[in-house]
Amino acid sequence: MPGFEIIGEEEEKEILDVLKRKVLFRYEFHDQREGIYKVEQFEKEFAQFCGVKHALAVSSGTAALRVALAALGVAPGDEVITQGFTFVATWETILDAGAIPVFAEIDDTLCLDPEDLSNKI
């Protein structure tokens, strides 16, 4: 699976630290955490790295898409343009928001075709 090659000693140490505390949840269990909130720490550092005020860690790409659509105020009946060559979660989250997926073509790079996107607007 792509991405495994970047997992090294530092990542192993962080994972073992979480497992030793026996707290696999984002909230609660304050005593066991000993003041350590890894997700909160990651969000702050990632926001700083990106030069933004806030960052929100989520459990999956699907959850990220749901959060993004909500943050954009996508509402039932809205049309959301996406490429047709995509993972099922892309259009699934659009439908879940009550919106209508509008599929645009891809180009030779397998990315959204800008010309077809313009035609869909």
> pLDDT (tens digit, 9 = 90+) per residue, 61-117?
999 999 999 999 999 999 999 998 999 999 999 999 999 999 999 999 999 999 999
**Distance from the first to the final alpha carbon of the chain:** 36
- pLDDT tops 90 at residue 4: no
In sequence order, the 6+-apart residues with CB closer than 8 A to the CB of 114 are: 107
Q: For the whole prediction, is pTM greater than 0.85?
A: no
- The residue to which tokens 């879940």 are assigned: 96
Strand partners, 101: 80
In sequence order, the 6+-apart residues with CB closer than 8 A to the CB of 93 are: 62, 65, 66, 69
Rg of the chain over Cα atoms, rounded to whole angstroms, equals 19
Confidence label for 1 from pLDDT (cuts 50, 70 and 90)? low
Specify the pLDDT at position 6: 83
Domain coordinates in residue numbering, the chain? 4-50, 61-120
Task: Name the residue among 26, 31, 30 with its Cα closest to residue 43.
Answer: 26
Specify the pLDDT at position 120: 93
What are 10-60's pLDDT values in tens digits?
989 988 988 888 877 777 777 777 777 888 889 999 999 999 999 999 989
